């Protein structure tokens, strides 16, 4: 099948790119390996956004909440379904990309659905595939045991159980706090010597700081797991583990019925490398033109958190990526697409600078 644009990924920004392309009159095929908003669907149940509702609204469709508070993942998925139906978007769901190749005339993409394989050809390729493809594995004995997980889904399973949460960013702190409130005996291990307020949500940081200080949640700072057993975890000093020279006498064995390794995720940059995209020196952040979102490969564009590559900067997310769709549509069509929405307070400019420290 031939089209003008192949768009891969149907998270919020992928959907917003599709709306921009449709408004600009560009022919496109939209492909998603799972369901729309799959990453959000994989969130813990009832987890809330840190961004306010107006900042995660997309494509000119306001988000109205009954309590005017941040949305839960479930509420946002219902909202995304409404956006797709309002804009009548055609998304090929549960269709996974097998390969993408650059050709003399554009790109060829091979996909696989439940029943067959499909081949698409286009001049342009837009990747809105996110940056949470694969969990950051520790590579330690016991990591794949059934009571160990890299994702937190809900707290009930940990009721009256000894739970070790590994990590010190928002996902780890939220899991530790929710499980503590649900009756789990939580402990926390973090590779840094303290919980950093500059790296975490202020509410989560305050509450966990109090709980760890009073030892309601035992805290093991500057430690990393080096082995996991059926009901225990060995923690070693982070500096020693980093050098590979661990003093056995410095290893702490703590009891744990369950282990949550909430050490973050990484994006899959293999597609970009295979297509010939260039990256910034000494990093896996792809080089892009900020005005068009085009990579160093002509006619290959990135949108949403995919622009972060394999970095854990967390500076690009839904609230700061709304301009990606219009920029891409403008670059491809040569004209400005119809702006989404008319309410000024729903369309005010917002970038990472708005939430960064003033001296940054």
For the chain, give the percent of residues with pLDDT over 70. 90
- The yes-or-no verdict on residue 62 having pLDDT over 90 is no
- pLDDT tens digit sequence for 173-216: 999 999 999 999 999 999 999 999 888 888 899 999 999 999 99
The domain ranges of the chain are: 2-133+265-355, 137-261
pLDDT level of residue 270 (50, 70, 90 thresholds): confident
Looking at residue 342, its pLDDT comes to: 57
- pLDDT tens digit sequence for 74-128: 999 999 999 999 999 999 999 999 999 999 999 999 999 999 999 999 999 999 9
At 231, give phi and psi (nearest 5°).
Answer: -145, 25
- The yes-or-no verdict on residue 21 having pLDDT over 80 is yes
Looking at residue 33, its pLDDT comes to: 93
Which DSSP state fits 46?
T
For the chain, give the percent of residues with pLDDT over 90. 64
- pLDDT tens digit sequence for 288-342: 999 999 999 999 999 988 887 765 555 667 778 889 999 999 999 998 766 666 5
Looking at residue 287, its pLDDT comes to: 92
d(CA 239, CA 305): 31
The answer to whether residues 312 and 135 touch, using CB atoms and an 8 Å cutoff, is no
Q: What are the residues whose beta carbons fall under 8 Å from the beta carbon of 327, sequence distance 6 or more?
A: 291, 292, 293
- The yes-or-no verdict on residue 218 having pLDDT over 90 is yes
What angle, rounded to 10 degrees, do the helices at 170-181 and 202-213 form?
A: 60
The answer to which of 52-56, 66-70, 331-335, 343-347 has the lowest mean pLDDT is: 343-347
Burial of 100 (0-12, 13-18, 19+ CB in 10 A): buried
- The yes-or-no verdict on residue 52 having pLDDT over 90 is no
- The yes-or-no verdict on residue 224 having pLDDT over 50 is yes
Which CATH fold would you assign to the domain 2-133+265-355?
Answer: FAD/NAD(P)-binding domain (3.50.50)
Between 285 and 121, name the one with better pLDDT.
121
The answer to which of 154-158, 218-222, 263-267, 296-300 has the lowest mean pLDDT is: 263-267
Strand, coil or helix: what is 198? helix
CATH architecture of 137-261: 3-Layer(bba) Sandwich (3.50)
Looking at residue 28, its pLDDT comes to: 97
- The yes-or-no verdict on residue 49 having pLDDT over 90 is no
pLDDT level of residue 360 (50, 70, 90 thresholds): very low
What angle, rounded to 10 degrees, do the helices at 73-86 and 12-23 form?
A: 20
Which range has highest mean pLDDT (36-50, 101-115, 254-268, 318-332)? 101-115
Domains 2-133+265-355 and 137-261 share a fold: yes
| Residue (of 85, 49, 89) closest to 65 by Cα position | 49
Return the beta strands (E) in the chain as ranges.
2-8, 28-31, 91-92, 96-102, 107-112, 117-127, 134-135, 148-149, 162-166, 185-190, 219-221, 223-228, 232-237, 252-255, 258-261, 265-266, 288-289, 294-295, 300-302
């Amino acid at each position: 099948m031939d089209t003008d644009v192949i768009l891969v990924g149907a998270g919020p920004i992928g959907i917003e790119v599709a709306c921009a392309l449709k408004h600009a009159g560009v022919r496109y095929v939209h492909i998603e390996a799972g369901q729309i908003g799959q990453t959000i669907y994989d969130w813990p149940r009832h987890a809330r956004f840190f961004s306010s509702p107006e900042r995660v609204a997309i494509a000119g469709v306001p988000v109205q909440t009954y309590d005017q508070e941040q949305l839960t993942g479930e509420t946002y998925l219902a909202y995304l379904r409404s956006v797709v139906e309002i804009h009548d978007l055609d998304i090929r769901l549960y269709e996974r990309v097998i390969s993408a190749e650059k050709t003399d005339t554009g790109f060829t993409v091979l996909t696989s659905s439940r029943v067959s394989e499909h081949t698409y050809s286009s001049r342009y390729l837009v990747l809105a595939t996110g940056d949470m493809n694969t969990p950051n594995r520790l590579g330690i004995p016991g990591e794949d045991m059934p009571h160990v997980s890299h994702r937190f889904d809900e707290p009930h399973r940990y009721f009256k159980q000894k739970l070790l949460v590994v990590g010190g960013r928002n996902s780890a702190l939220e899991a530790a706090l929710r499980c503590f409130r649900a009756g789990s005996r939580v402990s926390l291990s973090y590779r840094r010597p303290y919980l950093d307020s500059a790296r975490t949500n202020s509410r989560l940081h305050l509450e966990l700081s109090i709980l760890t200080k009073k030892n309601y949640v035992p805290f093991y700072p500057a430690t990393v797991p080096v082995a996991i057993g059926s009901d225990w975890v060995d923690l070693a000093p982070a500096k020693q583990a980093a050098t590979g020279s661990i003093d056995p006498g410095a290893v702490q064995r703590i009891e744990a019925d369950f282990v949550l390794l909430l050490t973050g995720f990484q994006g899959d940059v293999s597609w970009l490398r295979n297509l010939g995209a260039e990256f910034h020196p000494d990093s896996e952040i792809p080089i892009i033109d900020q005005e068009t979102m085009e990579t160093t490969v002509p006619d290959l564009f990135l949108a949403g958190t995919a622009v972060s590559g394999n970095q854990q900067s967390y500076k690009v997310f839904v609230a700061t990526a709304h301009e990606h769709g219009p920029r891409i549509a403008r670059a491809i069509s040569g004209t400005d697409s119809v702006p989404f929405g008319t309410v000024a307070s729903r369309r005010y400019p917002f970038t990472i600078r708005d939430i960064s420290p003033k001296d940054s």
